[in-house]
Every structure is written in C-alpha cells, then in structure tokens.
Structure 1
Amino acid sequence: MFTKILIANRGEIACRIIRTARAMGVRTVAVYSDADAGALHVQQADQAVRLGPAPAADSYLRGDLIVQAALDTGAQAIHPGYGFLSENPDFVEQVTQAGLVFIGPSAQAIRAMGLKDAAKALMVKAGVPVVPGYHGADQDGAFLAREAAKIGYPVLIKAVAGGGGKGMRLVDGPAQFAEHLASAQAEARNAFGNPAVLIEKYITTPRHIEVQVFGDGTDAVHLFERDCSLQRRHQKVIEEAPAPGMTVALRDAMGQAAVTAAKAIGYAGAGTVEFIVDGAGGLRPDGFWFMEMNTRLQVEHPVTEAITGVDLVAWQLRVAAGEPLPMRQDQLGINGHAFEARLYAEDVPAGFLPATGRLDHLVFPSDARIDSGVVAGSEIAPWYDPMIAKVTVQGPDRATALRKLQAALDATEVAGSVTNLDFLRLLARDADFVAGVVDTGLIARGQGRLCAAPVPDAQMIAIAAVVAAYIAAGPLVGFTLWQPLVRRIVLGQGDVVHEVSLQVLGPDQITADVAGAQVSLRRHGADWGARALRHGVRQVSVFGAQTVTFSIVDPLARGSDIAGGDVVLAPMPGLVREVAVQEGDHVVQGARLIVLEAMKMEHVLRAPRDGVVASMCAEPGDQVAAGDLMVALAPI
C-alpha cells in the first residue's frame, strides 16, 4: 500500500479522499489555487502545494505542475477525484511516465470510452445495446441536420467528449437544429477543447440509470445501479440506489452489460456505465441502451457505498497498489435504500444560474452523511463548480430513506448565498417522486411549482423584522407608561418591499403589523418561533419550511433602482464569449444579445423587450461580475 498520495482536485471530493486515506494510514498532499489557499481540503491534508492563480487552466488543469508537486513531496500515487484531469489520458501518461501510479484506469481505457461515438462503436462490437443515432466523424452542419431527420425528432445533440450536461441540446424540430448545433459545439469547444458532437434519438419517457463497476484490469464486478433521473439542464440533482421499480431480470441484464463494457477495455478502478432506460410501461430487459462510461469515481458514489457497505475510495487505493478485487460478485449485496441530494449555490427561479457569495451560516444535520468542502465563512468562488455539499441518507426501505432525506433537508441551514435548498425540499416531497414514478422530465414538468421564488408568510416577515430591529437600533426593551414602543422596519425581498410596524409589549412579546395582518410573537429561548439570524451586509435570513433572506432597507434609499426592462445585467460572474448585436441594432423581445460562460456552461442573455441597442458595455473576452451592465436599450 502507498504511504503518501497526492490528490489532484479540490473541494468535497478532495476532503472525501483524505478521509479514507487517513483511515488507511496513508498520508495526503493537497494542491490548491490562489482562490483555495484557505480551503478545507488544504487544511485537512498532511501537506499542501500551491499550483497557481484561480482559473483552472492556470492551476488544477496544469498536469505538469501537479506531477512535479507529487515528485517534490514524495507522493507515490495521484488520485484525480472527478472533473478536471480525472478523464484526461494525456495526464495519466504524464503521471506514469514520471514513475508515479495513477489511481484510476489506464490511458488506453480512458481513450476507449472518452469519446462517446467511439465508445458506442466499441459497445456495439461487444454486444451491448446502444441508442439509435449518428456517431460518425462528419461534422458538417447540413449533413448532421439530414441525419437528425433520418433518426426522427426529437433528437439529442451531445458533445462526443462531453459530460455533466455540457455540450448537450434537446432539439424538438428541424427549425431549431442549426442554432442548437452551433451552441452545443461552442460549449463543447470551451469545456473540452473538442467541438465534435453526435446525434441520438431522444427517448420520450427516459430514465437515467447507471451501474457502478469496478475492475482490476483482468476481472470486473458491478455494485448494482443508481437512478439519476432527477435532473435539471441534464445535470443530476437527487440520486438514489437501488432504482425504484427495478426488476431482478433487468438488474441482471444491466449489470452484465456494464461488466461486459468494463472487461472489453481491461478496466481497472471505479467506473460508471450509464444507460438510458425507457420508463414507459415499466422497466423491462429489452428497454435499456448504453449512453456512455465515466472512467472515474462519480459524484453520487455515496449512495452505492450506503447500500453495499463498500468504501469505493479504499478499493481504488488497493487496486491501484496492485491488489486484486476485494470482493467477488456473489459476495456483494444490497442493504436497504439510499438517497443523495446535491446542495448548490445557485439561483433556481432564475434558471439554476450558478451563484457566488460568502457562506455566513452553514448547519447540517448530525444524522446524515455530509460530503462538503466548505464550512461557515467559506467563499463560493466563480471559478469552480458551486456545490456546497452532498446530503446522503440510508434506510431499510425507500419510504424510510425518503423520510430521512426530507428531515435532513429540513434541518439544513444556509445563509450568505442563494441556494437550491428550498427546491430540494419541494422535490423530495413531489408526489410522483415519492411514488417512485420518475423520469428525466419530472423537474421540467413541475418547474412552475418547484422553482418558484419562496413566498414568505406574515409570521416569517414579522420575525425577520424583529431581528432587523434588534440589529438596527439595539434591544427592543423599554416602553413608556402610556404606550408601547413602536418601531417601523422596511425589508426587501428581491423586487418586493415589506413594511412592518412593531409594537413592543414587553421584552419577550411583540405585535407586528404586516400589510394589515396582525402577528403576535413571543420569544422562546433564542428565537421568536423560527430560527433567524442577521448576517452579511444588512441581511436577515429566516429558516423554516423554506429559507427566506431579506435585506434591511433604508427607507430614504428607496426608489433609486433603474427600470429592469431598459437594461440587461450580468446574472452571475462570467466570461463574455459572444456579442451578437452592436449599438444601433433593432432587437425584438427574446433576441440573442450576449453569450456568457460561467462554470463552463453557456448562458444566453436575451432582450427583455423590443428596442434599440443604445449602449453595448461588453466585448468578447471580458470578465464580468454579477450585476454588471451589459446592454442598455432605448425605445424604437
């Protein structure tokens, strides 16, 4: 076994690898960018080496610096985590040529599965079913449009080197094909350095079910399936294992297909074979098709660990050190049910746009597994994936595990950045999801209900006003002999303003007037009926069935906002990739104005109304901050 390994990653996966390595008596070396100098993974590792500036291209994607750091610190092996260089065969060769061990599959195996078109051809040869589509090398737009017509709409355009939903577009008909093709190719080029795409038939009631495999280069086993059908923008949100409605016949067929795929490339280490499954009419052995193989540890691996009792990172280290597979297929079994929810810093009502900010407050339940790379006080930077944590629970059956997930999400508190926490809470209680009736379109169908901004009730507003009043003017104590103390507080919630009048009847009793509704509050211990706290710059968050954050408004400053219909602001920090208009152009509502790249995803900024471009404030290559003015419109 190794005595020291270097972890070529950051955040929660680096912390998770450190945890297992420490339990195995293996020392760890962390690497970090300038943005991560004080990060949790840096603090937890035995040693840490600076790579460079914040952009990943100057730090976490610098394979030469990572290999040199391993050599300088005496590490014997490199664990890539996931993302960054984890599926880069050139990096694997850099590692092995330096005399180090790569904790993962060979460069040859990664190349075999790294391009979706080549992987599908390999799977056809191995007898694994694949989705109908075009997987060839011809990338001419007109040719691809003809192929899409042959396949039959709707179709999926997918980057051949893609993953995580990047470079993927759903096309409903021929009129949208050209625009979606150009967008997918541009996003694929930016994210992977390869603009090539493939075209596949879109299954109308699809389920995304994947199988965890593990090989030692000679033999391979599967550790059963995970259902990852709950997705937004082709990215997973809540995963579970085993898949609801799974039959013994389908599990055997999918498991055997996944093992066949792994053995076909002499796979060593942890990997995931992803399948698209037709969910219409129930699961059946002839209704699944190979999509791709991820030649690395997956983000959602904790649910597999929960139901099998296997530490997949420990297996990775043992196999990389030359040991055989720790268990045979007949020794593996399923124990209960598990869920994992991904908690992100993102603006759900705005379309799941990634967010940034300082985590002023962060609390997790003690009875759930929490995989996180941040703590209270950490910054969510614009340079990397905005994940805050993964919340994983396990129970003896699906119903019990789901109740535990709901309770764990209810007990989680975050303040300082907008998050998807309320969305996760609603999703975990969705009637179809609770019943196990899932497919990849579930979130899109319920978007209006699941993704709406929270609407606080009068009591939440009143509690926020009380906390704001304490901060603004000191404790609410002391009142005259002839009347109670009255205080007026103004709170902002996005574009909504709440005016509250507080009457202090005593040190532990307050009456609040919220838009004519009378709310009586009594203090119980440290709160007034719900958890609330002041944080950041004049902000108050109230935690309950939903989390609502209010700004404390200076009444004299109201009325100074610019009309939102006349300007287009950057919704998040990002890089301007494309400017589609220039000053003087006439545009119609919905017209494409600017393409902004953030977190390696493209976001199209469109005209909020008909008008004339009066001012263009951005150029390709500009790095912009959230709220920066991008375009100003004038009436036609």
Structure 2
Amino acid sequence: MTDLYNNNPLIHRDRRLSASDSEWVRSFACEDLKPLIVCRGPIRKEAMDVFEEMGISHYGILLSEKDSIVYANALAPELRQLTDSNRVHRVPDYTGATKEERIERIGQIIQIAKDNGYDSIFAGYGFMAEDEEFVAAIENAGLSFMGPNSRTQADAGKKDEAKRTALQVGVSVTPGINNVTARTLVAKHPTREALLALVKSEGLDVDAKVLKDTKLSLEELADEILYASYAKGIDLYSIEELSAQVQVEVENMFREYPGSRIRLKAIGGGGGKGQRILGASLLSVKKPTNAQIKDAAAEAPGLVREVLNEVKANGVGDNKNVLIELNIEQTRHNEIQLLGNGEWCISMGGRDCSLQMHEQKLLEISVTQEGLAVAIEKAKNAGRKAEVKALESDLKVLKRMEEDAAKFGAAVGLDSASTFECIVDRDRYYFMEVNTRIQVEHRVSELCYSLKFTNPKDKNDFFIVESLVEAMALLVRHKKRLPKPERIPRFGAGAEARLNATDASLSPHAGGMIRYWSDPIVGEIRDDQGICLVNPDTGMFMRYKVAGAYDSNIALLLTKGEDRLDSYRKLSEVLGKTTLRGTDLATNLEFHYGLVNWFLGQNVMAKPTTRFVVPYLTLVGQLKEEANKLDTLFAFIQMKKAYAKKMAEQFPDDPKIAKEMSSILDRKGTLVTRPMDRLLADPHLLSGWLSTNRKNFTMENGKVVWHDNPFVILGDTYEYLNMSYDPAAPAADVIWSHDSDLLQKGLRFYTTLSEKFNLGLHEFDALSAILANEKPQGGFSAGEWLDIQSAHMGFEAGLELLGMLFIIAETVKFWDFKVEEDLEVTIPDHLNDPELQTRMKKVLVPPPATKADEIVAMCGGMYYGQEAPGMPPFVSEGMHFEKGQPLYIIEVMKMFNTVRATFSGTIDKIIMQGADGSIVQKGQPLFKVTPDEKFVEVNPEELEQIKRERTAAYLKAVL
C-alpha cells in the first residue's frame, strides 16, 4: 500500500487514539483488539497496515495453500512484512469445494482464532465476508465479526431477502421474481394440504403458528418450509425441477417485457459470480412469437446449473434460489457507501461502477453531491445547457439513493460497512442488492469523505477517521458507544482502476510472472498486496507469479483530484508512467490507459452504461484490424519519393534542395515512425490517442487538414507513450537520443515563435496563417523570416504520416462512438453485433496456433467436459457439432466460461481425457476434429501486397 499523502510505501500515519490528550477520544482506542485476517489480496495488506497504524499488534493472517504454497514463486507477499511465523496460519483453501468442506473450514478458522488468542475475525471483501453461516458461527463461538452481524447478513446479504426488505421500506426494486424456489415447491405440491403433508413426512421443524396461518399464501408457506429444509440439510426439489420452473418464469417474463433480456442471479453470488443473461436473440424483436420465446428460454436450465455451480450452491440442503430479473439495458451501475452501528446509519456518497465486463468492475469513479454541484456550476458558466440538465438529474437521483440507502441500512440493523447497489436509468433508480461487506473500491469513497466523531457533551472534542477499515475496527470494538459521525468533504473526486491479469480482450490470463514493476509516482495510491515490497536485504524487486486461483486482480490504482477531470488526468499520468514487465504476463494496463484518455478526449462527466465496454472493445478491435494493414516503413519510403518528386517540380534548377529535403527526412525517419508503430501495435493506446486528438484535424475533400501543430503533437505523443528520453531506460522503450535532440530543438523553435506572436503552443491555425505571409512578420528581417519559414517547413516535413492514424479512425467510424451534449454515450448499432464482437475479440487476441484438425484450449484454467456433475458430457467421439454448440467449460479466476464451437464439424477423438477440474494450458489440444469446411490459409505474400496497397491509399489522404 502507498500512503495517501506522501506517496511513500510503508510510511504509515499514526491512528492510535490512545495518544490523544482527550480522555473521551482515548476511550475509543483499539490497541487491545486481536483480529485474525481471513481474506486475501490488497485488502489483507491494507488491513495489516491499518491495524499497525492503530497500535493493534496482536493480529494474524490466514493463508490458503492456493495463494501461498502450491504455486511456485507465488508466496504471499505480505509475508515480507509479517515475519512472525506464529501469526501466520494456513488452511488448504478458504471455503472448501463442497458444503461439507465449507463447514469444516469454518470450524477450523474459529479454532485457529481461539487457539491463538484472537478475539475477532476480519474477512474484508473476501470469500467469507458475506457468509451468514460463517458469521453466525463466529458469534456463537463468542468471537466478534468485523463486518455486518448475522442478522444483517440474513436480511440484506441474500439477494432475495434484500429485495423483500427493500420493498418493505419503500425502496424501488428491479422488476422480477425473487421466490422461484417457492414456486418450484408449489408446482410440485400445489395445495396447502400437500405442503403440510410434506412437512410431516420429512419431519421439518416449522413454527406451528406458521402452519396454522391460513392468511399465508402458498408461496409464503413454501418459503417457510424451504428454510426448515435448509436447516435440516435436505432437498425438497431437484435442480432439474428448479430449472424447469425457471424456464417457465423466463418465458412469462419475455412475454411481459418484449424486446428485453432476462438476468439470472444466484442469491449468494457476488463480484460478478453467479449471474447470467439470456434472451439476446429477442432484443430487437418487438412482438416475439411463442416459438422464439421458447427457443430463447430454452437456455435457462443450463444457465441455472452454471450459476449454482459458480457459487457452489448445488449441494444437498443448499438454498438454490435464483433471482429472475428484467435486465435494464440502458443502465448505469451506481452504489452508495454505508456505515452503521446498529442504531445509526450514514451514507458516504456514491460511486459509478458502470464500466465493467463479465459483471466485473474495471473503473470506479466517485459520485458526490459536492462534486456534482461543482460540475453543474462549471457547465452553467460554459453555457452547456444539456449537460447542466443531465447533471442536475444525477444530483436528484443521488440524493434519493443516499436517503434510501441509509433508510435500508437502519432497517436491517447495519452495524459495519456495506454497499447499497443500484441500477440508474436516467432520472430513475432501482435497488439491486446490498453487499454486506467492505467493497474493493471502498477507497474511492474514503478519498471523498472523512468521518468526524464528536463527543456529544463537547463539540470541540472529536477525532477524525479516514479509513473504512479503521471504522470497522472501531465499530467491532466499541459498538453502539460510537456516536453518529459527520461526513467531512476531503478531496473533490476519487478514481480507481483495477489492474487485472487479463489479455487485450479482457479475458483472464493467469500464470504470468511479474519481474519488474516501476515505483509509484507522486499522486499515485497503489494497493498491490505488497507485491512491490522489495527484498529487505538487497532492495531488489522480488518476482511474483500471478497464480490466478481466486481472482484476476493484481492491484488497485487510485488517484484523487480537485474534481473529476483532475482525478482522470492524474489517473492517466499514473497509468502512463506504470511499467510492468514479466514472463507470459498480460494485464489490462493499456486498456485502462486508453479508456481513461478516451474519456479525457470526450467528457469525463459522461454517463456510460454497463453495456459500454464490450462494444468499445469491439471498436478497438476494428482499430487493430485496420492498423494491421499499414506498413510505416513502406509509407515512409513512399513519402520520401513523393517529396523528391515535389521538390524536383518546384525547384527544377536547384537539385540541392531535393537532396537537403531527403537528408532532413532521413534524420526524422525513426522520430516519426517509432511512436506510430507503438500506437499501431496497441489499439488501446491508439484509441486514447485518437480521442485526445479528435479536435486537432478535419477531413476536407478527402484530405487530412491539421488544426494543431503536428510537431507539437508528436512531442505530446512521446509523452503519452511514456517514451520521453531517459538515459537509464532500455533504448527500445524510449526515444533515441538523436531523435530527442531533434524533437527538443523543434519544440524550442515553436515555443519561441508562439511567444513572439502571443499565441498558445497549440494555436496552429493562427501560426500557419502568419507563417504563410511572404512579407516578414513580428519585426523579423527578410533573411530571418526566410530562415523561419524554411525551419518550419523542415520541422513539419514528414509529419504527414501521423495523419494516417486519423484515416484509420475515419475508416472504422471511430468518431461515431461518442459522448453527446447531454452526457449520454452513443454506441453505433453495428458494434452490438455478437458476431462482430466475437471476431474482434480474436483480432485483439488471436487464438492459439492450432492445426486445422484440432480444437485447443482457449486459455489456461480448469477443464470441465460436462455442465455439472451427473450431467452428460458436451461431446463424444464420432458426434457432429454445430457452430455455437458448447464444447467444454474452462474455469479461470473463479469464473466459469462455456466455450462454444466457432465452426461446425465432427469430433474424431477426445484428446483431453483427464477428470473434470484438470488443469489445462492455453493452446493445449483437446479434440481431434474434421471441420465441415476446409480452412484456406492466406498467402503471406498476398498479405504483404494488401498492406502496401492499403498504405498507399492512406498516403493519398495525407500527402
């Protein structure tokens, strides 16, 4: 963790309340708290740091073999700080693979706590944080849980109960069904008599008053019976019966909400797990036929099994309830940070988490009433009326969400940190769920607000808390003694990017080795689980293997700012200055950098929906596909020929001029082409660059016309690519020294000239108009003016090539994906085409090399040949498969990915003969097949010819 103020690793602030002069403040000291940390990742390291800052010395951590022992070179980096082996405890894994193992693990953790003198357990945002059974067991053992109590977990943590509570306190919820298990039981036992007979035959412990209450509906009675069955550990319905009922309900919802998709959510899911969406084929159908509806709903049974498998709720006696909800298509995902002590509950502003993929959040931005008020005022002053109206709507919705969130928290007796998650649809919002734990992105709220706890008897007697982990410790230690705090604005805005182990298409990529990570820069807040802690003896970076047993997160990168624009600019700087190197290492660093700069080039107050990322990635894939067709070396050579021809025509009697121009171009070759090659090689970087330069040119009569100085933009491009000259850096990573000399000489020239004419460095149109005068300007002599014009022509020569990047954008209609004046994001329809999305995913990350008669693993992970235990295998030898048919499941970072055939053919042989759960490597052959159609490989010489023809066509638009 890097300190919020001085940005130096391992320099901690003093949070010890015992050091205060105030007796009242000292009474809230927590040094005697003895917590056991049973979570992993950045939150484990953060908790360690905060506890030490609070003076808590008797804390311990729990390590799973999956993140410390089994994987070579993946030793938990926190052990570099916590070297006392007596405070490090080990378990095979955190939760166990089955219900029986989970119960065993709960007992094991509690016993570890008791045996080692711990009095409380902190689960962070980890696996156990929202486990009602785990929390109840802790409480029954006489220990404290540093998080919401078991009653709150029951009323708010389970998605079905949370929706019922929300309805009871008047909070709007997403349309849907939250009791499909009760409906399944009623379908099987359709009368009250049948249900009562079931209670008797199974010997279920149901309250006699409930059984006699004739006012209860059959579904309400069924719910009570089901809870008794969970307590006894038996099933009253099969997964097949549940799946069939879900299919019926989905069909009915498709009829009720035509043109919509349906979301299935396991009640115990979280972090994107246990959720699936179906009905894509009906999105554009206003009046679907019964056949179309039945066909779309036929996916439901398989998806039900997937979500139950993913959250491990498929055991006997597990609560298998699945929410069936309308998928609000044009939505933003907002959430409200809550904190309570069981009597009071306060909100700490909101966060926009709409930028996500696979239900996994990627970029999280603060949303506060103060921040929106400032943005509204700025938009008013700029005369942007549509933006003002949009922001005022957001402010009203945020106020309602904060009020309802606090009301909900009080209703469930919230006594720790939690998050109230919502779907925002323009001027409306729907309650989605409550995360009864601290969130991964909690620091975004910490950056915006601190908490002031004041002595009720003396307003001048108070203490300030800036950490939610610290607040959770205070709550578990002092409970209802802690007075209701006042939230104090801290920084104007906060932003967080999740640095994940994913490839360029954002698919999980586990197993890479981090061998180098640049140091944090000023203004960077990095939570990295201690990976960046150097070897205490040598001061060298210690390599770290991204094991991938649990999730793909490597680090959380945060920044703060005066407003959102400032926080985005600082986040861009952090991402641009971050360098990660390793073996088989893939991260989403470039994706984040491109995305942040895309918004900087558009409007950071934009309102992207949860459907933003996939079409955006598709557009980036199109950039890559087009960029692959260009050859900068060929373009440079052809440009030199064009200049030679031009000079010969303009100065037929002076061949020296043509030679001089050729020499100038030769000196600038790598200066221009190296950053271009970098942008062409990485479409994420290209996307951000294009967006920030979108106003710097226009197309006139098929030609690129510059409105900013290409030479200045070239200098900015080197900065953007983090390629500025650094003699200590590898030469391949930065501008070469002779190119740097030329670049700086040109920038000094234009800086001096701009100052002379009282212009900004980017006011190129005005400068060009001045330099076009044959008569000397600015008091220069005729000879000086001629030298200035010649120097200008020399510096600008060859920079036309940069304009080819704009032609790429024009070709793929890059600019059609944009932020409108009302802050809504326009996504061109073609980018929502599933086939195009699939194809562009392969452009971004080409599939592993394979023979025409093989199907290989799409990535590394755990292989499953069937949908669930007891189900038939997806494929068998000799069977014919169709395009789109499931072939296998691969589990990566706790997410189950169903891999479907990209062509039709016949399975000749199943090469992968291992048991389900076997580890496979990316590119490992799984099946021998005979495709229905023969694949024809493209001749490399033909590809080269295509590149030259396309490059020549682009040159015509820039020369």
TM-score after normalising by structure 1: 0.79
Are 1:33 and 2:138 an aligned pair?
no
Question: Equivalent residue of 1:271, what SS?
Answer: strand
- Please tell me the residue identity of whatever aligns with 1:249: K
1:82 corresponds in structure 2 to: 125
2:861 corresponds in structure 1 to: 573
Which residue of the other structure, out of 528, 544, 568, is the alignment partner of 1:402?
568
Residues 18 and 44 of structure 1 are in contact (CA less than 8 Å); yes or no, is this contact kept in structure 2? Answer: no
Residues 274 and 310 of structure 2 are in contact (CA less than 8 Å); yes or no, is this contact kept in structure 1? Answer: no
1:58-106, Cα deviation, whole Å (9 max, x unpaired): 7998222221221222111110111211111111122122221111111
1:290-336, Cα deviation, whole Å (9 max, x unpaired): 10000000000010011113210000000100244866465443630
Aligned equivalents of 2:309, 2:931: Cα separation in 1: 37
1:157 corresponds in structure 2 to: 264
Which residue of the other structure, out of 558, 574, 580, is the alignment partner of 1:392?
558
**Taking every aligned residue pair, what percent have the same amino acid on both sides?**
27
- Please tell me the residue identity of whatever aligns with 2:175: P
Are 1:436 and 2:606 an aligned pair?
yes
Residues 120 and 145 of structure 2 are in contact (CA less than 8 Å); yes or no, is this contact kept in structure 1? Answer: yes
2:357 corresponds in structure 1 to: 232
1:431-451, Cα deviation, whole Å (9 max, x unpaired): 456342321111122122346
Q: Aligned runs of 1:131-210 on 2, under 5 Å? A: 131-137=174-180, 138=183, 139=242, 140-152=245-257, 153-171=260-278, 172=280, 173=282, 174=293, 175-193=295-313, 194-210=319-335
- Please tell me the residue identity of whatever aligns with 2:52: R
1:506 corresponds in structure 2 to: none
Residues 189 and 195 of structure 1 are in contact (CA less than 8 Å); yes or no, is this contact kept in structure 2? Answer: no
Give the Å deviation of 1:382.
3.1
Aligned equivalents of 1:54, 1:108: Cα separation in 2: 26
2:684 corresponds in structure 1 to: none
Residues 215 and 267 of structure 1 are in contact (CA less than 8 Å); yes or no, is this contact kept in structure 2? Answer: yes
Q: Aligned runs of 1:1-400 on 2, under 5 Å? A: 1=30, 2-27=32-57, 28-34=59-65, 35-37=67-69, 38-45=75-82, 47-53=86-92, 57=96, 62-137=105-180, 138=183, 139=242, 140-152=245-257, 153-171=260-278, 172=280, 173=282, 174=293, 175-193=295-313, 194-242=319-367, 245=391, 247-279=394-426, 284=427, 287-309=428-450, 310-324=466-480, 328=484, 330-333=486-489, 335-349=491-505, 352-367=507-522, 368-373=524-529, 374-375=531-532, 376-400=542-566
Residues 237 and 341 of structure 1 are in contact (CA less than 8 Å); yes or no, is this contact kept in structure 2? Answer: yes
Q: Aligned runs of 1:476-491 on 2, under 5 Å? A: none
- Please tell me the residue identity of whatever aligns with 1:418: A
- Please tell me the residue identity of whatever aligns with 2:88: V
Give the Å deviation of 1:23.
0.3
Residues 185 and 195 of structure 1 are in contact (CA less than 8 Å); yes or no, is this contact kept in structure 2? Answer: no
1:572-602, Cα deviation, whole Å (9 max, x unpaired): 2214151411111112233211112222211
Higher deviation after alignment, 202-211 or 353-362: 353-362
Give the Å deviation of 1:189.
3.1
Higher deviation after alignment, 119-128 or 609-618: 609-618
Residues 341 and 391 of structure 1 are in contact (CA less than 8 Å); yes or no, is this contact kept in structure 2? Answer: yes
C-alpha distance 39-4 of structure 1, shift in aligned 2 (>3 A): same
Give the Å deviation of 1:192.
3.8
1:633 corresponds in structure 2 to: 929
Stretches of structure 2 lacking an aligned partner (at least 5 in a row): 1-29, 70-74, 184-241, 283-292, 314-318, 373-390, 451-465, 533-541, 634-677, 682-723, 736-847, 867-872, 933-959
- Please tell me the residue identity of whatever aligns with 2:322: V
Stretches of structure 1 lacking an aligned partner (at least 5 in a row): 461-492, 497-520, 533-559
Aligned equivalents of 1:332, 1:325: Cα separation in 2: 21
Question: Equivalent residue of 1:348, what SS?
Answer: coil
What count of residue pairs does the alignment treat as equivalent? Answer: 544
Aligned equivalents of 2:94, 2:443: Cα separation in 1: 28
C-alpha distance 326-369 of structure 1, shift in aligned 2 (>3 A): farther
2:593 corresponds in structure 1 to: 425
Residues 564 and 605 of structure 2 are in contact (CA less than 8 Å); yes or no, is this contact kept in structure 1? Answer: no
Higher deviation after alignment, 222-231 or 193-202: 193-202
- Please tell me the residue identity of whatever aligns with 2:297: F
Residues 158 and 198 of structure 1 are in contact (CA less than 8 Å); yes or no, is this contact kept in structure 2? Answer: yes
Aligned equivalents of 1:230, 1:433: Cα separation in 2: 15
Residues 569 and 631 of structure 1 are in contact (CA less than 8 Å); yes or no, is this contact kept in structure 2? Answer: no
Residues 500 and 587 of structure 2 are in contact (CA less than 8 Å); yes or no, is this contact kept in structure 1? Answer: yes
Question: Equivalent residue of 1:353, what SS?
Answer: coil
Aligned equivalents of 1:144, 1:165: Cα separation in 2: 23
Give the Å deviation of 1:360.
1.6
C-alpha distance 364-300 of structure 1, shift in aligned 2 (>3 A): farther
Higher deviation after alignment, 387-396 or 252-261: 252-261
Aligned equivalents of 2:734, 2:913: Cα separation in 1: 42
C-alpha distance 522-270 of structure 1, shift in aligned 2 (>3 A): closer
Question: Equivalent residue of 2:96, what SS?
Answer: helix
Query: Relative contact order: is structure 1 or structure 2 higher (C-alpha 8 Å, sep ≥ 6)?
Result: 2
C-alpha distance 369-577 of structure 1, shift in aligned 2 (>3 A): farther
1:518 corresponds in structure 2 to: none
Residues 864 and 917 of structure 2 are in contact (CA less than 8 Å); yes or no, is this contact kept in structure 1? Answer: yes
1:27-68, Cα deviation, whole Å (9 max, x unpaired): 220111234153122333355434333585279982222212
Higher deviation after alignment, 149-158 or 309-318: 149-158
Give the Å deviation of 1:562.
4.0
Aligned equivalents of 1:184, 1:332: Cα separation in 2: 45
2:730 corresponds in structure 1 to: 527
1:447-475, Cα deviation, whole Å (9 max, x unpaired): 22346797799999xxxxxxxxxxxxxxx
Aligned equivalents of 1:233, 1:562: Cα separation in 2: 27
Which residue of the other structure, out of 879, 882, 885, is the alignment partner of 1:591?
885
C-alpha distance 109-192 of structure 1, shift in aligned 2 (>3 A): farther
Higher deviation after alignment, 378-387 or 424-433: 424-433
Give the Å deviation of 1:195.
4.0
- Please tell me the residue identity of whatever aligns with 1:29: G
Higher deviation after alignment, 606-615 or 207-216: 606-615
